[in-house]
Amino acid sequence: MKRSLIAALTAAVLVSMAVPAQAADVNTAPRLGSKTTTTITSVENASCRAQIADIAARAGTAPDLSVCDATVTLTETTFPVSPTQARTIAAQEGMSTSATKAFVVAAAAGAVQGATWSHSYNALWVNEVHKGTTYWDGSRAWISTYRGLTGSHTCHQEGSWAVGGSVKVNSCTMPGAGSAADAVENFDLSVLYQGFPIALTVGLHYKITATGASSSWQVGG
């Protein structure tokens, strides 16, 4: 199948689904002191390029490596946990007086924060989205419940689609409290190119450290 035909099929499916290609901003209710940023990064798909080149060699045609071009989009909204919220959480968790004081002081200093985020992988055949909420307090970062705060991580979310193939989610992690919380979605993508199957495995990582330094990257593709 030529690139023009693939692109036409992609456009037709997207119009019929009325789904945007890029991840939506997850910050539906901005909090006081919140900040939203969006980053779009181009990525190389070594496995895709190798498979396209192999198919072209067998078919005796020139490889169209541009079909492997992809981008990763990250939208994140950070927000503080207030000292009042920290006191309430401490009471609910039955923290000791000293632990409560330390937690409230950390919140007052801006060390206890959270981030809601949306992270997507977009290529000609696929847009795969995972979303979540991650917390940190200066000594720990987490998604699973810690100190009365529970984050989230969900995969294959609204905005995900695949054209001429299918997506299978292999894992969607829920990191516990540690020096960093790395939310990972690992998925398989199976598609056809010129009648030949292409199989890709992609890992999407969104990590926040205990001090709130975030990073994201893609593995495979």
Which has the closest alpha carbon to 103: 149, 147, 144, 133?
147
Percent of the chain with pLDDT over 90: 69
CA dihedral 85, 89, 91, 92 (to 10 degrees): 140
Confidence (pLDDT) at 150? 95
- 31 pLDDT band, cuts 50/70/90, is very low
Percent of the chain with pLDDT over 70: 85
Instruction: Using the predicted structure, report yes or no on whether residue 153 has a pLDDT greater than 80.
Output: yes
pTM, to two decimals: 0.80
Mean pLDDT of 97-122: 94
Contacts of 191 (CB under 8 A, 6+ apart): 125, 126, 162, 163, 164, 165, 197, 198, 200
User: What does the mean pLDDT of the chain come to?
Assistant: 84
- 33 pLDDT band, cuts 50/70/90, is low
Confidence (pLDDT) at 83? 94
165 strand-pairing partners: 191
Q: Judging by beta carbons within 10 Å of its beta carbon (0-12, 13-18, 19+), is residue 135 exposed, middle or buried? A: buried
Instruction: Using the predicted structure, report yes or no on whether residue 190 has a pLDDT greater than 90.
Output: yes
Token match 């919220």: residue? 85
- For residue range 36-55, what is the model confidence (pLDDT) as tens digits? 999 999 988 888 999 999 99
- 165 pLDDT band, cuts 50/70/90, is confident
Residue 41: φ, ψ to 5° = -125, 135
Confidence (pLDDT) at 32? 47
**Distance in angstroms (rounded) separating the CA atoms of residues 140 and 68:** 38
Confidence (pLDDT) at 120? 97
Domain boundaries, the chain: 3-220
